Structure 1
């Protein structure tokens, strides 16, 4: 738990033991930590350098712990300052990058990444840098990366990044296909299925795309930056997304939904939202949970094939999901 402030497992165990005991000599502490006396003494010296432990002046040969509230507080403050400096440096570098990319040369709009490890690393970086949405087309034979098997996906989803993934039907027959899809759906990711996707594709925040290259001796991919080509790739994803059928996580596992319409509760939610109520107000008025309201709104957006609530309102009128005088 204290690795974030620079302590390794042995240092933390030694400090916790000293806090618990009040004072201890090296042999006794070594037995408690189940490690050699030399390793124990080195850990104590490291704690001493960080102000977390000191040799007792009244009891030679024994070590005492510094008060956690003071000692750990000082280390936390130091780490916060270091993080603030790192954030400032990152912001300055980002500003410098934006300034240099304001008028990018044509050859800077597309990168070629070669090698399985390099492609996988680039995909990982894109997900870790995502702030809004990751869209992916996934084939039945992911060679390097896929839209459903990266640990970074769980981290990004935990930060509130939305995922929309279209998988080929053959993905459901892969050895771990259903397991990975179940995990994705349990994180409230939106997953759809089609018979075949035109290409593997990942689009992040509509600002960056990754397109694997085929027919090469080693795996490679194109990284496409903001450009007309990126807009074309984003449009390709949206067209496939509109034609795909949603996958749901039900009592019997992952199931495929046919095209359907909103139920009575959906229509009530739509009417209240179009009347100007917030999600929280709608949830309170209909005696629903806030997450339930938000989940139903996301499903309505899927059914309408739209990406914004403004578009949803327009489609609701056009499809007759709510009366025009609401």
Structure 2
């Protein structure tokens, strides 16, 4: 029972015996406890250090020193108070650690916002995880430089699952041995592809919540990439893609070589039908039902029309649609 204040079984038995008999020599105590005199003396010495026992005067008959127990109310009370104080300090430390943990969880550390992936295999695997984990949209900037994970041709798995894919490739990609063939395959998967003269950097963004950019560009350098989680940096990378997307020219399948051709700026027939219905006063949901397409498809195409027209509101889009001859008054 006294183990809570630091006494083991031998010490507790020795103290209880001393309390019961009042005083005892080492030999007498060992006999009562059924242990060797050396073990009894060790227990008494430890009780002495804890203030629970003390040596009294020697026995008149044998000359051996006797041991007496300290008053339990005083000695055990002191030990209990010390134990309570230590427990209070431990509780205070636990509260402080809990507050520190909650603060750390609420504000993720900077090193948790980015991760560095090195090695061709690791980069390719992480790139695949990013694409396959997307549920709404994958955006990519594809350069003509050789990298561990290729660009728009790899987006096909995402588009097959109904994930929107928007890709911007630089013109140099069309000169690669399989550049046109891969671009044609991407267009056949209903991916949205645009071309610019120069892409600032290779980039992949999934669901606007995760991005991946290469850290090495040299042919002899060991491939490495930076994976960016939700942060100001991710917002900047997403903004970079959108800026390049707005400046790029759409491409479409063509019958003449090289197999694809730049589409003139402006809406396609589906865009025109959506625009006409909206200008007629229909809601996005009504347009989607009328054309038998998804609501997100309508909203995405309207957003694309606004980007193409260089406007930020639907009212401005309606005006620009008339000015550009997309619709008749």
TM over 0.5, shorter chain: yes
Q: Could you tell me how far 1:238 is from its partner in structure 2?
A: 0.6
**1:37-84 per-position Cα deviation (integer Å, ceiling 9, x unaligned):** xxxxxxxxxxxxxxxxxxxxxxxxxxxxxxxxxxxxxxxxxxxxxxxx
Q: Distance in 1 between matches of 2:157 and 2:105?
A: 28
Aligned to 2:141: 137
Match of 1:159 among 161, 181, 190: 161
Deviation at 1:251? 3.2
- Could you tell me how far 1:230 is from its partner in structure 2? 0.5
Question: How far apart, in 2, do the equivalents of 1:142 and 1:293 lie?
Answer: 38
SS in 1 for 2:186: helix
SS at match of 2:208: coil
Match of 1:126 in 2: 130
The answer to whether residue 256 in structure 2 is matched with residue 238 in structure 1 is no
Q: TM-score, normalised by structure 1?
A: 0.58
Aligned to 2:275: 270
Deviations 1:12-31 (A, max 9, x none): xxxxxxxxxxxxxxxxxxxx
Separation (CA, whole Å) in 2 of partners of 1:244 and 1:305: 11
| Superposition deviation, residue 147 in structure 1 | 2.1
Identify the residue that residue 279 of structure 1 maps to in structure 2. Answer: 287
The CA distance in 1 between the partners of 2:163 and 2:189, in whole Å, is 11
Partner residue in 2 for 1:90: none
- One of 221, 226, 230 as aligned partner of 1:226: 230
- TM-superposed CA distance for 1:104, in Å, is 1.4
* 1:163/1:261 CA distance change after superposition, 3 Å: closer
What runs of 5+ residues in structure 2 fail to find an aligned partner? 1-103
- Per the alignment, residue 148 of structure 1 pairs with 152
The root-mean-square deviation of aligned C-alpha atoms, in Å, is 3.2
Give the deviation of 1:157 after TM superposition: 1.1
Q: Residue 259 of structure 1 contacts residue 303 of structure 1 at CA under 8 Å; is this kept in 2?
A: no
Q: What residue number does 1:32 align with?
A: none
Counterpart in the other structure of 2:265? 259
Question: How has the CA–CA distance of structure 1 residues 255 and 160 changed in structure 2, closer, same or farther, with 3 Å as cutoff?
Answer: same
Which residue does 1:317 correspond to in 2?
318
1:202 paired to 2:199: no
Q: How does 1:60-209 map to 2 (within 5 A)?
A: 102-150=106-154, 153-209=155-211
Larger radius of gyration: 2
Inter-partner Cα distance in structure 2 for 1:226 and 1:292: 27
SS of the residue corresponding to residue 211 of structure 1 reads strand
Deviation per CA, 1:93-112: give whole Å up to 9, x if none: xxxxxxx9653111111100
Partner deviation per Cα, 1:177-203 (whole Å, 9 max, x = no partner): 111111111111100000001111111
